[in-house]
Structure 1
Amino acid sequence: MPGPLQSLKVLDFSTLLPGPYATMMLADMGADVLRVEAPGRLDLTRVMPPHDDGVSTAHTYLNRGKRSLGLNLKDAASVETVKQLVGEYDVVVEQFRPGVMDRLGIGYEALKAVNPRLIYCAITGYGQTGPYKDRAGHDINYLALAGVSSHCGRQDSGPPPMGIQIADVAGGSHHAVMGILAAVIHRQQTGEGQFVDISMTDAAFALNAMAGAACLAGGVEQTPESALLNGGSFYDYYQTADGRWLSVGSLEPQFLARLCEVIGKPELQSFGLSQNPDHQQALKSALKEAIAEKALAEWQAVFAGQDACVEPVLTVSEAAEHPQLKARDMVIEVPKGDGRTQRQIGHPIKFEKTGCESRYTGKVLGADNSLLLGE
């Protein structure tokens, strides 16, 4: 089945993670994505390990389903090529610091003059305005400035460096996709294109959700291990006898009752429902002691038939083999273009009427130059 975005054409000038992840999502949903890169400006995701057949797995995943055009954007002829292309495209995505595309002659105003219906999405660390708009940053910095890191982690060890890029992906990539598609709907209704300004710090700040609501409207500043969901209650991780971990999220009374029965402490159910920190710590201590008595596999067998919101902490390779993720097609085989395939993460949105297709892995830089420039 054709994807729901099969009529959308996207010019992608982004690099690294946020922009390429966003345009990969669009490509999976059927958009025609053309990635434009300068041959002399190396995208680190093309070379970072590990490699598969000499090509970075990060690159082949983030740029799957996209064509590749290599252009020196400082060259006048390349600028004219971009302007010719943009007349036929719906969306431009870029990830330079504010003003860079303008200096190259292919900023929003220049391209809007060619195509007034153009939707132009700029993803930056801090946005197009404000005192930090030209400041460098990475995921860890955006999370820090957005207040997210202040209420994560442990009191005695501070905020953790996360294994995933929250501000980049949950912030920049996902909000960029939402902004672009909202602008597409607006254009369908009005015929107008527009500029979409995505700040990864803004998006990370918005992820504070409940902690932000408690602070801004309720006057309560959340700190590590102080709230229901950040370690201040029994809702937490517990180490097993073999050094693995179990996640315990048994917040509702029926799940909590089942949990306490399984660990042989039914009398502690009232402690889990209590707002008293001492009661919560008593239940945490009981859970820590009980869970440390069995290995992870034993606990998995115990909780397999229990509706208690208790699940093992899996590695990525273990998660890929989990029957739930396999049933949801979250691990797929993507064609390399030579008759072979590469295992990759599948698309997380499932449509009833339209499909999502990962057509091929990311291409070498400029793979489509001859065809595109010939056209």
Structure 2
Amino acid sequence: MLSGLRIVEICGIGPGPFCAMHLADLGADVIAVERPTSTAPGLSAADRHVLNRGKRSIVADLKTPEGRELVLRLIEDADALIEGMRPGVMERLGLGPDVCMARNPRLVFGRMTGWGQTGPLAQAAGHDNNYISLSGALYYAGSAAEPPSSPITVIGDVGGGALYLAVGILSGVLNARSTGKGTVVDAAIVDGSAHMLQLLLGTRRKGFIGGERGASMHDSSHFYSTYRCADGAYITVGALEPQFYALLLEHLGLTADPRYSSQWDRQHWPELHSHLTGIFASKTRAEWCALLESTDVCFAPVLSPDEAARHPHNVARGIYFEEDGELQARPAPRFDGKAVAPGPIPTRGQHTVEIERALDDPAQARLWRS
């Protein structure tokens, strides 16, 4: 779908490489500029990184004039650049937006950081859990009795970071193609994870969430929660709407229990949650799946990635695959009912010679795939 989109990625860690992989999954031609190592590239599987899937890899030392010039030559014919350095690092390397956009005025300069390019914390170190903490996104994660638990990189690095950067880059490219003018995209995880809260904040008037932890649907109700089963595995229920709640009570044999007659009476939530905890602990996860899966109770088992890869629904959709002993998820979303085929994972620097030769070709015919 993104054939013809040309991106140069200055490789870093976390959300920047994920964003570039996502765009490569969807057909963009991404050249990953990786740092040199003490060993020659391509010697072992350790020189392959799954986030480089579908990209071409070159090695360049950006602290040298030759490495910087290589990047500048690459961006002359690119639509976008992705970098995830701390604010000011690219400028100190001589590869800041002013320099790069002087070479290519229509370039979209994508910047991926945790705190953003400006603000009191811009230069501070941080990680996913720090950014979602400050944005407010971590607040409702868990019950009032326990500290909030950080989801593994999904909310911040991927949701609030990589995907927002992808949207920003695509928006900038569309604008550049109509105006001939590039732009600088400041994708901060703290911004994106706060923006994602808008869906949750929009439920305040309905009473789904409140101002305190432990008093909202997500962290204290009995009908939207995670429960431990007899075998130590877990299941989730999300019977939010009244018709789904009624169906949950029916399947659990609780329709006639007067305690469950007022779903939104919060003063009874602790008691009801405790009661359901005992009920769900009476059967194994497999037994609950046999009873509740594929119903409108809004139910699902909590699976590890390896278990998820074997679940019949995920198998039917081909969501996971394994290559060279490494579990991977296929690109998303799908188009016209078909999943996009993922590209191969290159070894570090695999395409360095090929791309450098192409840059020396006046026509640059081999630089970008058609």
Alignment TM class, shorter chain as reference: 0.7 to 0.9
CA drift of 1:273 comes to: 4.5
* AA in 2 matched with 1:163: I
Could you say which residue in structure 1 is the equivalent of 2:46? Answer: 55
- Distance in 2 (CA, whole Å) between partners of 1:85 and 1:285 is 60
Comparing 106-115 with 221-230, greater Cα deviation is found at 221-230
- Partner SS, residue 266 of structure 1: coil
State the 1:215 CA deviation. Answer: 7.3
Q: Secondary structure at the match of 1:204?
A: helix
CA contact (8 A) 2:107 2:176 kept: no
Partner of 2:267: 278
Decide whether aligned partners of structure 1 residues 366 and 98 sit closer, same or farther in structure 2, where only a CA change above 3 A counts: same
What is the RMSD of the two structures over their aligned residues, measured on CA atoms?
Answer: 2.6
CA contact (8 A) 2:114 2:126 kept: yes
The SS at the match of 2:235 is: strand
**Contact 2:223 2:245 (8 Å CA) reproduced:** no
Report the counterpart of residue 107 of structure 1 in structure 2: 96
| Distance in 2 (alpha carbons) for counterparts of 1:9 and 1:101 | 20
Unaligned runs of 5+ in 1: 47-52, 335-339
Structure 2 residue 74 is the aligned partner of structure 1 residue 91: no
d(CA) in 2 for partners of 1:91 and 1:309? 41
CA distance in 1, matches of 2:330, 2:314: 10
Aligned residue number for residue 311 of structure 1:
300
Uncovered stretches (5+) of structure 2, i.e. residues with no partner: 359-370
CA separation of 1:80 and 1:163: change in aligned 2, threshold 3 A:
closer
Name the % identity: 34
CA distance in 1, matches of 2:171, 2:128: 25
CA 1:374 to 1:314, structure 2 compared with 1: closer, same or farther past 3 Å?
same
Quote the Cα distance in structure 1 between the aligned partners of 2:49 and 2:259.
Answer: 51
How much does 1:270 deviate? 7.4
CA pair 305-328 structure 1, distance change in 2 beyond 3 A: closer
Cα offset, 1:229, TM superposition: 2.2
Alignment equivalent of 1:9, drawn from 6, 25, 36: 6
Q: Could you report, residue by residue, the CA deviation over 1:296-339 in whole angstroms, capped at 9, with x for unpaired residues?
A: 111111114532112211121111111222222211355xxxxx
**Residue 366 in structure 1 maps to residue 349 in structure 2:** yes
Residue number in structure 2 paired with 1:202: 191
Asked whether the 8 Å contact 2:9–2:30 carries over to 1, the reply is yes
Using a 3 Å threshold, how does the CA distance of structure 1 residues 233 and 263 change in structure 2: closer, same or farther? Answer: closer
1:71/1:134 Cα in 2 relative to 1: closer, same or farther (>3 Å)? same
Structure 2: which amino acid aligns with 1:348? A
For 1:234 and 1:133, how far apart are their aligned partners in 2? 40
1:36 to 2:33 alignment: yes
Sort the Cα spacing of 1:298 and 1:233 in 2 relative to 1 into closer, same or farther, 3 A.
closer
Structure 1 residue 254: Cα displacement: 1.8
Q: Is the 8 A contact 1:172 1:199 kept in 2?
A: yes
Quickly say closer, same or farther: Cα 1:198–1:41, change in 2 above 3 A.
farther
Counterpart residue number, 2:365:
none
Q: Does the Cα contact within 8 Å between 1:272 and 1:279 map onto a contact in 2?
A: no
For the structure 1 residues 303 and 214, does the alpha-carbon distance in structure 2 shift closer, same or farther, using more than 3 Å as the test? closer
Q: What is the aligned counterpart of 2:332 among 338, 348, 356?
A: 348
Are positions 1:182 and 2:171 aligned together?
Answer: yes
Once the two structures are TM-superposed, the CA of residue 62 in structure 1 deviates from its matched residue by: 0.9
Q: TM-score, normalised by structure 1?
A: 0.87
Q: How many angstroms does 1:99 deviate by?
A: 1.1
Q: Give, in whole Å, the separation in 1 of the partners of 2:238 and 2:151.
A: 20
Query: Does the CA-based 8 Å contact 2:331-2:339 persist in structure 1?
Result: no
